Structure 1
Amino acid sequence: MSTDHPPKTRPPATPGTGHGRISTETVRTIVEARHTRRTFWKQLALIGPAFVAGAWQFGPGNLTTAMNAGALYGYALIWVIIISTILMIFLTDMSVRLGIRTPVSLISSIKERLGGWVGVVAGVGVFLITLCFSVGNAVGSGVGLSMLIPGTSPVMWTVICTVAVGAILLLKGIYGVVEKILIVIVALMAFCFIASAFAANPDWAAAGAGLIPVVPEGAWLLIIGLVGTNFSINAAFYTSYGTKARKRTEADYRDITMVDTVPGIVAPGIMTALVIIVAAAVLNATGTDAPGAFGGLTKIFEPIAGPVGAWIFALGFFGAAFSSMIPNCVAGGTMLSDALGRGPSADTATARLGSAFILAFGITITIVFSGSSPVQLIIIAQALTVLFAPVLAALIVIMANDKKLMGPLRNRWWQNLLGVVGLLSVLLLSGRLVVSLISG
């Protein structure tokens, strides 16, 4: 007696069963993305990490180097801002994707994938860069308030601002209020630069010619300073931590790119280009040199604000410096804590000590070099930030190509192309800076 058994059939290939063509992870990402269609207002809620990085860029070092670029070389260095902004977008985008994919933090994943000592080098490197930025922030806050209140000492105001930031870091509830006030101040200055860019009646044809890469004689240190502030790889690196803290997912990635990453980085780039244009139109024509440029800054807002222009600039300059002091020391302390295995949080004892050291370093250098030109001190401090930038850029590109870690968010070939261009750029500039420092 034979019994007919129905032939065994293999279930149809479906995504995620192991024999289909599309992996479970990829399908889950697609499904989540389709089920998380957001309204315009919900998309705005994703704004955050990249705008923090952009605000960190647009500090006193950025304003000072851009203002000097326009005052000394007219429109010739606008191209530096355009290129560095494009490269910054791609490095920040890689960091955002790393923030989404890393289980704990970027440095923790670097330790796991590349070795513990590599993670330590990365964290200490970011910490050293924040030390350089602390000088510009300390000097800028003091200079801004001394311009706001003529006759007062910039060093005195630097000390007061440093103590105030230390108090804010201890009393976290106050920071939210202070941050909103400073955002309004910086936004006011941003509006004035946009209006002044037209009211100052610049030579727009010459500004257009400034998009063509040209290196004027003696401009290398200033170019390095511009790249150090606009192609801020440490800010891009830290973006992964902000993304992780906000618990972003792969389903959020596309919206994050549209409402946070691109506009958050493009905005300070546009503002910096406008600073160069206004400075070229207002200061370059008068022959104002770098040491005397702060005195000439009072003229930048005169086309739209008259005598009040000096007060507006001083207020905005102080706001940019003071608001940058806070994320700079928080990021530096957090990176150091994570590198030493104490946790990727600003609340650890190591992070707090690191933040305190950054503040102390900025005020110490300001006092020691109080007799020097504040403009030149800020430019040199910003230029020094590119010395370690190639290491951070290389780590971001390498980690963004880790297939096991990144999955469907791994770098595409064109993202790698721009990443390598950015890496080579900072590598060449850091080499150029070393040669300049050795040759004196």
Structure 2
Amino acid sequence: MSDRTSQRPPATPGTGHGRISTETVRGIVDSHRTRRTFWRRLTLIGPAFVAGAWQFGPGNLTTAMNAGALYGYTLIWVIIVSTILMIFLTDMSVRLGIRTPVSLISSIKDSLGTWAGVVAGIGVFLITLCFSVGNAVGSGVGLSMLLPGTSPVMWTVICTALVGTILLLKKIYGVVEKILIAIVALMAFCFIISAFASNPDWAAAGAGLIPVIPGGAWLLIIGLVGTNFSINAAFFASYGTKARERREDEYRDITIVDTIPGIVAPGIMTALVIVVAASVLGQTGADAPSAFGGLARIFEPVAGPVGAWIFALGFFGAAFSSMIPNCIAGGTMLSDAVGRGASAETLTARLGSAFILLFGIGVTLVFAGTSPVELIVIAQALTVLFAPILAALIIVMANNRTLMGSLRNRWWQNLAGAIGLIAVVALSIRLLVSLIGG
């Protein structure tokens, strides 16, 4: 055998001498893997967008409108802070969804006692029960604004029936994710167009990033934090993560493509609503219309009927996108709390979701023609009672060394969680004092 032959590297199965080299094959494989990785990351989008769609509902819009109308661009910073805190709590919930063997409530029962899991599940169910009214009314009013002269109650019934049909589908969560991602994209388009149509003072909007507390604004600030730092939506993110069977090795990609953008998107849209209201109504110092049907009309002076139509479309999207996960989350966590399973497809979960829908449409029919403002206040009161409990449970469970392993909270995550917990406790105390005193 010649020296040249003896110096040749050993043949590799599938390549051999005279064929493509091993290094070339590896390069081709790596390049294909890189291209697939990008698309695989996109398939991880879902649970956080569902949580974000849930938090961005009629109550959120109404509060943001009043913030812009009364205080101009001054309170935009509240949305930024709330969004950052929401990212941290949602991230903890996502990691819990990855690590819990069955569900978050089941793990809470195992670690802290059955009572703790039952309180969490029933608490979220009660919150969703009251939120269902605002969502039902908002979806009906949104469509009636798009099609003037039609009955909001009729559209409420149609939207409720549509959501009920979605609940009957198999593999509900995957279907809901696709619907909500599309609606969130539509809302983002509508509110971005609306913001530019209102011709705001962008320099003043930028100044709104600096924390300032105007006189008499505390209750409104509490309302903004309560609607944007939605602990119940963050809590449910663990269930979406578990339903999608996410793995620990996917956590980094989930954070990049789902958790951060899924929570930032509704935060940006809420800030844009404040910008719009500040631009159109801020100089008058007038309240935004308290009835949902009046919100779109603020665009008519600056963009005519088209501007009102665009905003109405975004408003409907906000109400309908919140309506779907609201009833699914309530039914699922009620089922889990009473030990009937952690899936949205259990009989108890479906019955619970159906009851939430029927409650929303029932109250809408009984109080047809009146504003649901009082019902939204009740929903916020229930949020006040249970938000600190849910936040504390998320933080405690995210620090469980046995359960979480390498995904256990780091010190800086605990710091952010502690700030969030203190914020919701302060929110609870302030609102309770206001409700008792009022």
What TM-score does the superposition give when structure 1 sets the normalisation length? 0.84
Q: Which runs of 5+ in 2 are unaligned?
A: 1-32
Q: Which residue of 1 aligns with 2:247?
A: 249
Give the Cα–Cα distance (whole angstroms) in 2 for the partners of residues 176 and 95 of structure 1. Answer: 19
CA distance in 1, matches of 2:224, 2:352: 26
Helix, strand or coil at the partner of 1:214: coil
Structure 2 residue 75 is matched with structure 1 residue 70: no
Aligned to 1:402: 400
Tell me: CA distance 1:185–1:97, structure 2 relative to 1, closer, same or farther (3 Å): closer
- In the alignment, the residues of structure 2 paired with residue 174 and residue 260 of structure 1 have an alpha-carbon distance, to the nearest angstrom, of 19
Q: After the TM superposition, which residues 173-322 of structure 1 pair with which residues of structure 2 at under 5 Å, given as runs?
A: 184=182, 186-291=184-289, 294=292, 297-299=295-297, 301=299, 306-322=304-320
> RMSD between aligned alpha carbons?
2.7
CA distance, structure 2, for counterparts of residue 111 and residue 386 of structure 1? 23
Paired amino acid for 1:90 = F
Q: Summarize deviations over 1:75-109 as a string: whole Å, max 9, x none.
A: 12111111110000000111111111111111111
- Give 1:378 shift: 4.0
Contact residue 238 and residue 331 of structure 1 kept, 8 A: yes
Shift of 1:255: 1.0
Quote the offset at 1:210 in angstroms. 2.0
Over 3 Å counting, the alpha-carbon distance change for 1:243 and 1:268 in structure 2 is: same
Match of 1:431 in 2: 429
Deviations for 1:194-217, whole angstroms, at most 9, x for unmatched residues? 233234232233223322333334
TM superposition shift of 1:278: 1.1
Question: How far 1:136 sits from its partner (Å)?
Answer: 1.7
**Aligned residues of 1:64 and 1:378 also touching (Cα < 8 A):** no
Residue 123 (structure 2) aligns with: 125
| Mapped partners of 1:121, 1:36: distance in 2 | 45
Between 50-59 and 279-288, the greater mean CA deviation after superposition: 279-288
Q: Is 2:42 aligned against 1:44? A: yes
**Residues 79-228 of structure 1 aligned to structure 2 (within 5 Å):** 79-172=77-170, 184=182, 186-228=184-226
AA aligned to 2:399 is N
Q: What does residue 357 of structure 1 align with?
A: 355
Q: How many residues align?
A: 406
Q: Structure 1 residues 310, 172: closer, same or farther in 2, change over 3 A?
A: farther
The amino acid that maps onto 1:107 is I
* Letter in structure 2 aligned against 1:162: T
Distance of 2:296 and 2:121 partners within structure 1: 39
Alignment partner of 1:307: what SS? helix
Give the unaligned 5+ runs of structure 1.
1-34
**Partner in structure 1 of residue 26 of structure 2:** none
Rate the CA distance shift 1:162–1:219 in 2: closer, same or farther, 3 A: farther
Q: 1:409 to 1:179 in 2, by over 3 A?
A: closer
- Inter-CA distance 384–118: structure 2 relative to 1 (3 Å threshold): closer
Contact kept? 1:132, 1:385, Cα under 8 Å: no
Q: 314, 317, 326: which one pairs with 2:324? A: 326
* TM superposition shift of 1:40: 1.6
Distance across 2 between alignment mates of 1:173 and 1:112 = 27
CA offset digits 1:55-79 (Å, max 9, x no partner): 2222222222212211222112111
Tell me the residue number matched to 2:57. 59
Decide whether aligned partners of structure 1 residues 83 and 179 sit closer, same or farther in structure 2, where only a CA change above 3 A counts: closer
Is contact 2:49–2:180 with CA below 8 Å preserved after alignment?
no
Which moved further from structure 2: 332-341 or 320-329? 320-329
Residue 421 of structure 1 pairs with residue 409 of structure 2: no
SS at match of 2:161: helix
Gap change, CA 1:36 and 1:351, over 3 Å in 2: farther
Give 1:7's aligned residue: none
Q: What is the percentage of aligned positions where both structures have the same residue?
A: 83
Structure-2 separation of matches of 1:95 and 1:262: 13
Kindly provide the CA deviation profile for residues 100-121 of structure 1, in whole angstroms up to 9, marking residues without a partner as x: 1111111111000000111111
Task: Give the conservation status (yes or no) of the 8 Å contact 2:46–2:181.
Answer: no
Aligned ranges for residues 370-385 of structure 1 at < 5 Å? 370-374=368-372, 377-378=375-376, 381-382=379-380, 384-385=382-383
| SS of corresponding position for 2:295 | helix
Aligned to 1:15: none
- Cα pair 2:130 2:375 within 8 Å, conserved: no
